[in-house]
Structure 1
Amino acid sequence: MTVELRVLRPAEWDVWFSCVERAFGGVRSSPEARELWQELTEYDRFIGAWDGSECVGTTGAFGFRVTVPGGAAVPAAGVTAVGVAGTHRRRGVLTSMMRRQLDDVRAWGEPLAVLTASEPAIYGRFGYGAATRLLRLAVDTARVALALPAGVDAVRVRYADPVAALPACEEIYGRLAAGRPGTPVRQPGWERRAVLDAEQDRAGASPLQCVLAERDGETVGYATFRITPEWDSAGPKGTVTVRDLGALDPAAYASLWRFLFGLDLTSVLECGTRPVDDPLLHLVSDVRRCRPRVQDDLYVRLVDLPAALQARSYRVPVDAVLEVEDAFCPWNAGRWRLVAGAGGGARCVPAPEREPDLALSARELAAVYLGGGSLAPLAAAGRVRELRAGAVEEVSTAFSWGAEPWLPHGF
């Protein structure tokens, strides 16, 4: 069979998106979700694989900007909707789409590609490394108390319509994004995803609810959530499911959690996506009864290695030669000298004549690019080779950052 890859045409979108839905289990999205995804589709950046008139493969790359250590917002291709029809697996369709896509991203001048992996085992061979983690919580609010900081009582929490409150929430999101590597800077239209609330997606829960935290007439925090009522013979035991929460200071932050913990007729609070260094872990009286679970989340691919390394800041000065292996994007392969001062001013240039300090693949470099993790366990696993004593610790310290990287929403 001959499969043709081509840029998605607007008239093909319904067929293309149905192929995406089938690849992810065949459940049809709500009309509201389909409408939003169609409006967000950037047709010249999306690809379909066609066997005659049948769509058998899909992928796309939103034009994002992602915060990196130091606060810069770096252009990044937000890879999405990757799927291959079951009838066409193991025939090179995925590899050909990844090849085409990364060549396109390079041509667009975007140093990074990022994605969330439905199956993590797939993407390492294309040079993607797990660069952020997320924290899931299921808190027994009947048995977990909060230690509140000073100033909480000066914060007013009030209900607001989620759509009407969106501008205030987005302003806070934007202010927080600069301090958290891994956070996408909102592109036009993406704010609507934060309040997408189709009835078929609620799974028995309430419509989306929103509260704002205010001090002296200024909005200093927000939370969006749903409540799933439940009763048994002993009484109510509903669940609060937090979609998003952000605040500008500790008092505003704690006031929102106090509100959520205290909602009537509920005894469980679930959070599906929080940073692994979430301050909530230091407010609760019993972390074990929060049932924390950590997993991989955002995967990063260095498409233009020197541009990517020059775009971020470093925690301490570094001068190291990295011997990089990159079979899928061979233009990144070779020896690179990275020189940077603390806080900015990085330079990354070819250094074929220099002896390398570390040898690693682009995948390992991507895994620490956003400031999370360390090269040390990768070296202990044999995936990074230290060629100069002390180089692993030096480079790891330089790549580390204060805030753990985090992806607050999928795409």
Structure 2
Amino acid sequence: MTTELRVLRRSEWDLWYGKLELAFGGVGETRQERQLWDALTEVDRSIGAWDGEECVGTAGAFTFAVSVPGGAFVPAAGVTMVSVAATHRRRGVLTSMMRRQLDDVRGWGEPLAVLTASEPEIYGRFGYGIATHQLSLEIDSSRVRIAAPPGADDVRLRFAPVAESAEACEAVYLRTVGSRPGMLARRPGWERLPLLDPPGDREGASPMQCVLAERDGEVVGYVRFHNKPHWDRSGPAGSIMVRHIDALDPAAYAALWRFVCEIDLTSTVRSRNRPVDDPLLHLVTDIRRCGPTVRDALHVRLVELGAALEARTYRTPVDVVFDVRDDFCPWNEGRWRLSGDSKGASCKRTDGNADLALSVRELGAAYLGGVSLTSLAGAGRVRELRDGALAEATMAFGSDVAPWLPHGF
């Protein structure tokens, strides 16, 4: 490989980002989108691969903190904008960028790296495990009703301009951050991301609309959505595309879902990203007519294994020794003793006998509590070396609620 890796210069951003767009099909983004990503890009945490004067690879890392079981927020590099030019595939460009990036993340003192993948098979070889999933729904709202709990009728709903209501919606989001593992504590500027509304993302639907849920004059929830009118030979058959929905209590949450499912002239409600244990599953009267599907979301990589496992707590007491394989970050290789409970944890190197053998990829998948070590063992990816150790670790790593990534990056 003859390419050179170097930290991005601010003056190179337009060229660098243009190469990213080209690698993802060559359809340019709107001016609004480009301006936002320009503002959010941390150039000192971004790298380019250069073949002479030509940029042939891109990779960046946002500064995030990720909520983990126990409620703490752990510093994490949000790996993003990764691409390799079609002319330079299979030359080691991606591997070299991943190598450089993980070395950098370790140098920054961040124990985790996280990403969302364009193709889920790419990043396992670099030690990333799929740690969260997202639920998509296509609700037949002509047949499905929302069985709202008491108090839903007391919630006032009103339309509000998207821009003018942004601050109130962001306040609701901030109050829910940390309620599930996998959520992101964001730096200033990220509150602009949910407001992006490029026409190309609407699939022919209306500009984004917003409805606020209020109780006693306080905003307790919101939904942002698109309305796509349609008529067939039988009459109106429009659809609602839910972009964001959040609420501070069950009654407000149900009231918002009931609203979108009862909008006139529509018969379908689509939502692409909900937690896999979303309470909505228990509000709908017919889950079979909601078309639930699940796909991967957040991929997690333990960069500093000991620090990462010490940063979260454990649902039940645990004392196990992991024999860890990590071909890409060899500083994590070896045996680690994890002991902890709901109050805290210690994870140190040991010469003791191993209880479980696995790779760092499996630990990344299980880290947020949404993927069972037992299920990974069933796939042959975790080996139990001491009877009972697998059940002990599985219970300890679990989370009371499914981890969830509310938005991409």
TM range (shorter): over 0.9
**CA shift digits 1:291-314 (9 cap, x unpaired):** 000111110000011111011111
Quick one: distance in 1 between partners of 2:337 and 2:8? Answer: 40
Contact 1:76 1:114 in 2 (8 A): yes
Stretches of 4+ moved more than 6 A in 1? none
Residue 197 of structure 1 and its aligned partner are, at CA, apart by 1.4
CA shift for structure 1 position 167? 1.5
* Aligned counterpart, 1:42: 42
Equivalent residue number for residue 117 of structure 1:
117
SS of the equivalent of 1:104 reads helix
After the TM superposition, which residues 9-408 of structure 1 pair with which residues of structure 2 at under 5 Å, given as runs?
Answer: 9-341=9-341, 343-351=342-350, 353-408=351-406
Report the secondary structure of 1:409's partner residue. coil
1:186: how far off?
A: 2.3
CA drift of 1:35 comes to: 0.7
- Deviations along 1:243-273, one digit per CA (max 9) or x if unpaired, are 1111111100000001101111111000000
Partners of 1:182 and 1:407 lie apart in 2 by 5
Q: Secondary structure in 1 aligned to 2:320?
A: strand
Q: Distance in 1 between matches of 2:2 and 2:66?
A: 37
- Partners of 1:245 and 1:239 lie apart in 2 by 16
Say if 2:150 and 2:251, in contact at 8 Å, map to a contact too.
yes
User: Secondary structure, in 3 states, of the residue corresponding to 1:324?
Assistant: strand
- Separation in 2 of the partners of 1:152 and 1:169? 19
One-letter code of the match for 1:34? Answer: R
Contact 1:30 1:200 in 2 (8 A): no
* Aligned-residue identity in percent: 64
* Preserved CA contact (<8 Å) 2:111 2:305: yes
Task: Give the counterpart letter for 1:35 in structure 2.
Answer: Q
Question: Aligned residues, how many?
Answer: 409
Q: Unaligned regions of 5+ residues in structure 1, if any? A: none
- Gaps of at least 5 residues in structure 2 are none
* SS of structure 1 residue aligned to 2:184: coil
Q: CA deviation at 1:177?
A: 1.3
1:362-410 per-residue CA deviation (whole Å, 9 max, x = no partner) reads 0001001001021112112211110000111100100001110011100
Distance 2:201 2:268 in 1: 20
Using the TM superposition, give the Cα deviation of residue 174 of structure 1 relative to its aligned residue in structure 2, in angstroms.
1.4
Offset of residue 202 of structure 1: 2.3
Question: For each residue in 1:149-205, what CA deviation from the matched residue of structure 2 results, as whole angstroms up to 9, or x when unmatched?
Answer: 001111101111112111211111112111110011122111101111123432311
Structure 2 counterpart of 1:344, one-letter code: K
Aligned partners of 1:174 and 1:186 also within 8 Å: no
Deviations 1:121-161 (A, max 9, x none): 11000000000000000000000111110011111011111
Q: Is this contact kept in 2: 1:319–1:338, CA < 8 A? A: yes
CA contact (8 A) 2:145 2:258 kept: no
Q: Is the 8 A contact 1:312 1:344 kept in 2?
A: no
Q: Shift of residue 225 of structure 1? A: 0.6
SS of corresponding position for 2:122: helix
Distance 1:155 1:402 in 2: 28
Is the CA contact (8 Å cut-off) linking 1:127 and 1:301 kept in structure 2?
Answer: yes
Contact 2:76 2:111 in 1 (8 A): yes
Distance 1:201 1:397 in 2: 41
Amino acid in the other structure paired with 1:244: H
| 2: CA distance, partners of 1:347 / 1:339 | 5
Counterpart CA distance in 2 for 1:142 and 1:380 is 41
Counterparts of 2:146 and 2:197, CA distance in 1: 30
Provide Cα deviations, 1:92-115, integer angstroms capped at 9, x if missing partner. 000000000000000000010000
Amino acid at match of 1:47: I
